[in-house]
Chains A and B, each alone.
Chain A
Amino acid sequence: MTRFRTVDLLVTVLIGAAFGVAFLGYGQLYTLIGPLTAVFKPAEGLLAGIWFLPAVLAALIVRKPGAALLAEMIAAVLEMLLGGQWGWGTAVSGLLQGGGVELAFALLRYRRFTLPVAMLGGACAGMLEWVWERFAYYPEMSWTFAVMLLAAFLLSGAVLGGALGWAASRALAATGAVDSLASGREHARTVEA
């Protein structure tokens, strides 16, 4: 079923909007690792994965082609409208991060919504985001450090984006908040079995 019912569409865009709001609170996480990143900027890449969460969660919950991309784009547009410091760069990031996650689920023809696929999705998003940041933000960075940045993006994408997103989707299914969606129905089947 690839048709988006109204509830699929709304859940997708609201995941994007809710994360847009939560991200404002996440800024404080950067102050936690501040001392580390001041000395060694690529360390900031270790937090990159949290930005991919809207895409991973939307894909896992709604399970329809395009959900990951749409949710991530909404979060990005919201950040832009609120005055995020990367301006239109945010839209490109949203496109590439959402697209990266989308890519992993598309490779498996939207039939598998498991932890490994979610981690692959997070890593793909990290890969594409790195290409963009290398090109737009860090063209003068030496290759040694750029490769370290890539490693951080891949690791963070797979763990903080993919694995954490997968865990969050399971926790959400347990609450019953997604009962009317594909992921909620699967949860009900596994509980009954």
Chain B
Amino acid sequence: MRAPSRPETAPAPLRLQGLTWRPLTRREPTIAGLDLEIPAGQRVLLAGASGSGKSTVLRALAGLLDPETGEGSGLAPAPARPGERGLLLQNPAHALVAASVGRDAAFGPENAALPRSEIRARADDALAAARVDLDPSRAPLEASGGQQQRVALAGALALGPDLLLLDEPTSMLDAATSQQVRTAILEAARDRTLVLAEHRIEPWLPHVDRLVVLGPQAEVLADGEPLALLRERRALLVEAGVVEENGDRSTSADGAAGAAHDGPVVAALRGVTVPARGLRDTIDLEVPSGRITVLTGPSGAGKTTALRVMLGATAPATGSVERPERERIASVPQNPEHSFVARTVREEVLASPWAGDEQFAAQLLDRSGLAHLAGAHPSRLSGGEQRRVAIVAALAQRPSLLALDEPTVGLDARRRREVRDLLTEAAAQGCAVLVASHDPELIDHAHETLVLPASAEPAAPSARARRIPADALNPLTLCLIGILAALGSFAVQTWQGGLLALLPLALLAPLAVRTLRGGLLRLVPILLSAAGLAWTTALLGEAPALSGDAWLLGLKEAARIMVFVAPGVLALGSVEVTALGDALGGRLRLPARPVAAAVVALVRVGHLGRQWEIITRTRVQRGLGSPASPRLLASSTLALLVDTLRGAEQQALAMDSRGFATATQRTWAEPSRLSRADLVGTALAVGLLVWPLAAELIVR
């Protein structure tokens, strides 16, 4: 199996000459004069501490530095054809654009306006070449991180790139999954140029031809054959934060163990299972104070679920949970920004009502090396600093249990050590520290480790939904039914006419209702709002309030509003976002980019809902209010927007690397078919338009 073919001409070497770049929002350039030439076919590893400008260099090589957001010189030209230079980002979720794996791989070819048959062939080949072993109908945003990164790789390969640019593609994955993704990437890059930025360089070293070490502002500190550099310039690599000093791990771990004593058990899971979330084998876990306990295991084993059970966010199916009272538990979510509520680090640390001691907070900031940032905005800090601020804010509560979800993921060696030191310190103070993590250094460092076994089977794809007659209709027809029925409802003039106008609804509803529960979920809100309207009309109408006439008027209004909304609400139940996009873009020829972008946003709704749940729960856990408090809702909305908009920037980059910027004439992988059923549907729509008028004539 090979990746889709590329043009036969040999690509020229890639060259950056005197590259400078300063984002308009910064005073200092992130790249101050970089010369780099990469011969075709070379495999280059870019290394350097966080903030050395690796990501910017990759964006420059991709030709995706946007002159509207910064000023620079020596910029590479934009790609000559869509997807000429493939780009993979650290968080694979940012690369995903579609509701299914198959459509995701088709996104690039669609942007390149390829014919439908070729889109399909390219998507299939790319999925095979990237070793994606998921059913093409699966939702990529619900797959594991490793699968997601391979789906993202397939998305790049589908356009036959000459060059693959990878920005820390495995930094969020556990060791075993990283290995699989690495194999897929190296396989795919066999006959291509490869430029890769990574924090953990060791696993890549045997596979690359050249190591380039970058210092601040992308200054080239070292450039040469990887193993030679590692041998001869080790001190420089350690100083640049690219490799860890030997022996560093054992000393700190022993130090921690020496300082702590076996404390009493402050929290425990006993015989817990949560099969619905993948935790099938019984977990027994005791978390003693003064110790660091790590929950680990392959991705999908249920680390996060076990943590959620411990925090009371998920109820266990079996077993029991022991935990301290609410104000003695502090937790730090995987994305520290999800917990932030304040405008300065100082206020952030004191935000919880259970963290009132200013002196203690100042001490904590001091000891964790954050004192100089006390006046800074938490969201403006680097990823490593944000993690430490979130941990310090948790410790300011003086918790007896501190629970953290992947606190070192995505950080470079130095930042990982800083986080570890902070956890050691917390344990030394007598806190029980519980961490879900796949970081091998953190696991080495822990006092106790519980390895969760791999989940017996990946979460089964949801059972095929029952087919209903409405499924045979094009989304446009389903929309037409709702729109014409709504228009027709304005003919309702009397309560008798209104009730008669409801008749076809009762007859047609079963054709559009998949399950009884689903149908009720859609109909009950309508009934409630119709009842509300009847009451309002009876109370506030022109007739004397709550008189017999007023109630009949209210009944008419209730019937009318149901004739107005119900057909649309039921028909929309069968509309899928992707099919709607195909219809609006491919069939109605609405502007392609806004339609495609709208689909990208709407397929993320489930993902956004999960973020919302984490954000609100983290705030409730910090004691900042109930889920119904306006203040908590406002701060949660802001946090969701921050998360979403940061992601939008990465997503835009990933989409542009797949040719979206120029996709004004894109094609659509699936045809939006109109069939005989749609004729019947249209006739129904017209029927619903005129029936209320006919009903009025009948009762008159």
Which of A's residues lie within 8 Å of B, judged by CB?
A: 1, 4-7, 9-22, 24-26, 28-29, 31-32, 41-42, 57, 61, 70, 74, 77-78, 80-81, 83-89, 136-142, 145, 164, 168, 171-172, 174-180, 184-185, 187-188, 192
Given pairs A6-B597, A175-B379, 7 additional interface contacts (CB within 8 A): A13-B601, A74-B598, A87-B567, A139-B557, A177-B641, A179-B23, A188-B25
- Chain B residues contacting A19 (CB-CB under 8 Å) are 637
B619 to chain A, nearest CB (A): 12
Given contacts A17-B604, A18-B608, is CB(A10)–CB(B23) below 8 Å?
Answer: no
Q: Does A81 lie within 8 Å of B564, measured CB to CB?
A: no
Within 8 A of A (CB), among B79-115: none
Q: Does A141 lie within 8 Å of B540, measured CB to CB?
A: yes
B590 to chain A, nearest CB (A): 12
- Chain B residues contacting A20 (CB-CB under 8 Å) are 605
- Chain B residues contacting A185 (CB-CB under 8 Å) are 24-25, 69
Distance, CA A61 to CA B146, complexed state (A): 34
Residue of B nearest to A13 (CB): B601
- Chain B residues contacting A26 (CB-CB under 8 Å) are 633
Which 7 A-B pairs rank lowest in CB-CB distance, beginning with the nearest? Answer: A87-B565, A175-B379, A87-B568, A85-B525, A7-B652, A13-B601, A188-B25
Indicate if B593 sits at the interface (CB-CB under 8 A): yes
Indicate if B656 sits at the interface (CB-CB under 8 A): yes
Distance, CA A18 to CA B643, complexed state (A): 10
- Chain A residues contacting B44 (CB-CB under 8 Å) are none
Indicate if B55 sits at the interface (CB-CB under 8 A): no
Distance, CA A136 to CA B642, complexed state (A): 36
- Chain B residues contacting A57 (CB-CB under 8 Å) are 641
Q: Does B561 lie within 8 Å of A137, measured CB to CB?
A: yes
Distance, CA A18 to CA B634, complexed state (A): 13
Distance, CA A25 to CA B644, complexed state (A): 17
User: How many residues in B have their beta carbons less than 8 Å from beta carbons of A?
Assistant: 80
- Chain A residues contacting B557 (CB-CB under 8 Å) are 139-140
- Give B572-603 as 1s and 0s: 1 = Cβ < 8 Å from A's Cβ atoms: 11010100000000000000011001101110
Indicate if B645 sits at the interface (CB-CB under 8 A): yes
Indicate if B646 sits at the interface (CB-CB under 8 A): yes
Residue of B nearest to A185 (CB): B24
- Chain A residues contacting B460 (CB-CB under 8 Å) are none
Q: Does B540 lie within 8 Å of A88, measured CB to CB?
A: no
Q: Does A140 lie within 8 Å of B605, measured CB to CB?
A: no
- Give B521-556 as 1s and 0s: 1 = Cβ < 8 Å from A's Cβ atoms: 110011011001101110111100000000001000
Q: Does B565 lie within 8 Å of A89, measured CB to CB?
A: yes
B632 to chain A, nearest CB (A): 9
Q: Does B633 lie within 8 Å of A22, measured CB to CB?
A: yes
Distance, CA A136 to CA B542, complexed state (A): 17
Given contacts A14-B644, A83-B572, A87-B564, is CB(A174)–CB(B652) below 8 Å?
Answer: no
Residue of A nearest to B655 (CB): A6
Q: Does A5 lie within 8 Å of B66, measured CB to CB?
A: yes
Residue of A nearest to B482 (CB): A88
Q: Does A13 lie within 8 Å of B598, measured CB to CB?
A: yes
Given contacts A18-B608, A83-B573, is CB(A137)–CB(B646) below 8 Å?
Answer: no
A98 to chain B, nearest CB (A): 13
- Chain B residues contacting A178 (CB-CB under 8 Å) are 645
Indicate if B612 sits at the interface (CB-CB under 8 A): yes
Distance, CA A18 to CA B561, complexed state (A): 28
Which of B's residues lie within 8 Å of A, judged by CB?
A: 23-27, 66, 68-69, 343, 377, 379-380, 482-483, 486, 521-522, 525-526, 528-529, 532-533, 535-537, 539-542, 553, 557, 561, 564-569, 572-573, 575, 577, 593-594, 597-598, 600-602, 604-605, 608-609, 612, 616, 627-628, 630, 633-634, 636-638, 640-642, 644-649, 651-653, 655-656, 660-661
B382 to chain A, nearest CB (A): 11
- Chain A residues contacting B27 (CB-CB under 8 Å) are 192
- Which of A10, A136, A137 is within 8 Å of B597, CB to CB? A10
Q: Does A18 lie within 8 Å of B644, measured CB to CB?
A: yes
- Contact sample, A vs B, 21 pairs, CB 8 Å cutoff: A5-B66, A5-B661, A6-B656, A9-B597, A10-B600, A10-B648, A11-B645, A13-B601, A18-B608, A81-B572, A83-B569, A85-B529, A87-B568, A88-B568, A141-B536, A145-B540, A164-B634, A177-B645, A179-B23, A179-B69, A188-B24
B591 to chain A, nearest CB (A): 10
- Which of A22, A78, A85, A141 is within 8 Å of B602, CB to CB? A78
Distance, CA A80 to CA B580, complexed state (A): 13
Given contacts A87-B572, A140-B537, A140-B557, is CB(A4)–CB(B25) below 8 Å?
Answer: no
Q: Does B343 lie within 8 Å of A174, measured CB to CB?
A: yes
Q: Does B537 lie within 8 Å of A141, measured CB to CB?
A: yes
- Chain A residues contacting B609 (CB-CB under 8 Å) are 21, 24
Residue of B nearest to A172 (CB): B641
Distance, CA A16 to CA B648, complexed state (A): 12
- Which of A4, A15, A86 is within 8 Å of B644, CB to CB? A15
Distance, CA A26 to CA B642, complexed state (A): 18
Q: Does A176 lie within 8 Å of B661, measured CB to CB?
A: no
Distance, CA A88 to CA B561, complexed state (A): 11
- Which of B380, B572, B608 is within 8 Å of A175, CB to CB? B380
Distance, CA A7 to CA B553, complexed state (A): 50
Q: Does A17 lie within 8 Å of B482, measured CB to CB?
A: no
- Chain B residues contacting A174 (CB-CB under 8 Å) are 343, 377, 379-380
- Chain A residues contacting B540 (CB-CB under 8 Å) are 41-42, 141-142, 145
Distance, CA A14 to CA B594, complexed state (A): 12
- Chain B residues contacting A80 (CB-CB under 8 Å) are 568-569, 572
Distance, CA A29 to CA B634, complexed state (A): 11
Q: Does A83 lie within 8 Å of B522, measured CB to CB?
A: yes
B515 to chain A, nearest CB (A): 13
Residue of B nearest to A41 (CB): B536
Q: Does B652 lie within 8 Å of A6, measured CB to CB?
A: yes
Residue of A nearest to B566 (CB): A87
Distance, CA A4 to CA B634, complexed state (A): 28
- Which of B24, B565, B660, B661 is within 8 Å of A86, CB to CB? B565
Distance, CA A22 to CA B639, complexed state (A): 11
Given contacts A85-B525, A140-B541, is CB(A74)–CB(B601) below 8 Å?
Answer: yes
Distance, CA A89 to CA B526, complexed state (A): 12
Distance, CA A6 to CA B463, complexed state (A): 36
- Chain A residues contacting B573 (CB-CB under 8 Å) are 83
Distance, CA A87 to CA B529, complexed state (A): 12
Residue of A nearest to B537 (CB): A140
- Which of B532, B600, B645 is within 8 Å of A172, CB to CB? B645
Q: Does A16 lie within 8 Å of B601, measured CB to CB?
A: yes
Q: Does A176 lie within 8 Å of B568, measured CB to CB?
A: no
Q: Does B25 lie within 8 Å of A31, measured CB to CB?
A: no
Q: Does B566 lie within 8 Å of A142, measured CB to CB?
A: no
Distance, CA A28 to CA B645, complexed state (A): 25
